[in-house]
Amino acid sequence: MNSVKIVGAGALGREVLAALRVLGDEVRCFLVEPGFAGAPIRGIPVQQIEQRDDTWGDARYVLAVGVNDARLRLTQTLGETAEYATVIHPAAVIGPYVEIAAGAMIIGRVSMTTDIGIGRHSLINPGCNISHDCRVGDFASLGPGVSLAGRVTIEEGANLGVGAVVAPGVVVGAWSTVGAGAVVIRNVEPGATVVGVPARPIVRRPLQGV
């Protein structure tokens, strides 16, 4: 049985909690960033990450925050000595020769065949299908129902929306975004956003008031 501290108490935090409960693991606390303090969630105490105590020093962290670069930032906050649990929902079907790095979150029914690498603090949502010889980079996330054909590379921090499909051998660049339902048949440039069938780049509007 693992003993875990969940960083993040939003929707992904609750999904990770659900997976850990199915696994029978022990969740010691939720840790949140300033501004997110709160009452216990499902009986589990919530602490500010900056004021965390060592009461649960043996428990390992899971970075259950949906924004990919926020997970990267949290690894810097927690420092090099932090230890991370890997969450693999028991409904996942994972073949031989699949390497899953520390901190990865596989939170539901997922299929992975063989010769696959899954990076640190990556997020694989329910319903994903990952075929032979794929690589999913550190901090990347696959939305629900994403399908990766063989030999696909998802680079660090890339974010694939629900139901996206990636054709064989395609490279999805670092910190890029793939829209919901896109069919990606050509490589995606780092930092780009692509949408549609076939997926094409769009220029996103800057956020207002930030």
Ligand X SMILES: CC(C)(COP(=O)(O)OP(=O)(O)OC[C@H]1O[C@@H](n2cnc3c(N)ncnc32)[C@H](O)[C@@H]1OP(=O)(O)O)[C@@H](O)C(=O)NCCC(=O)NCCS
Residues that bind ligand X (CB under 6 A): 125, 143-144, 161-162, 177, 179-181, 193, 195-196, 202, 204-205
What are the helix (H) ranges across the chain? Answer: 11-23, 68-78
Give the shortest CB-59-to-ligand X separation in angstroms.
Answer: 26
Determine the Cα angle at 21 with ends 162 and 81, to 5°. 85
Measured from the CB atom, the residue of 45 and 66 that comes closer to ligand X is: 66
State which amino acid sits at residue 88.
I
Give the shortest CB-89-to-ligand X separation in angstroms.
Answer: 15
Q: How many CB atoms lie within 10 A of CB 50?
A: 10
Task: Please name which of 81, 85, 79 lies closest in space to residue 26, comparing C-alpha atoms.
Answer: 85
Determine the Cα angle at 126 with ends 112 and 156, to 5°. 65
Give the shortest CB-179-to-ligand X separation in angstroms.
Answer: 3
Measured from the CB atom, the residue of 131 and 176 that comes closer to ligand X is: 176
Give the shortest CB-181-to-ligand X separation in angstroms.
Answer: 5
Measured from the CB atom, the residue of 105 and 149 that comes closer to ligand X is: 105
Q: What residues contact residue 169 under an 8 Å CB cut-off, 6+ apart?
A: 149, 150, 151, 152
Measured from the CB atom, the residue of 109 and 204 that comes closer to ligand X is: 204
Measured from the CB atom, the residue of 93 and 197 that comes closer to ligand X is: 197
Give the shortest CB-65-to-ligand X separation in angstroms.
Answer: 12
Cβ 113 vs Cβ 129: under 8 Å: no
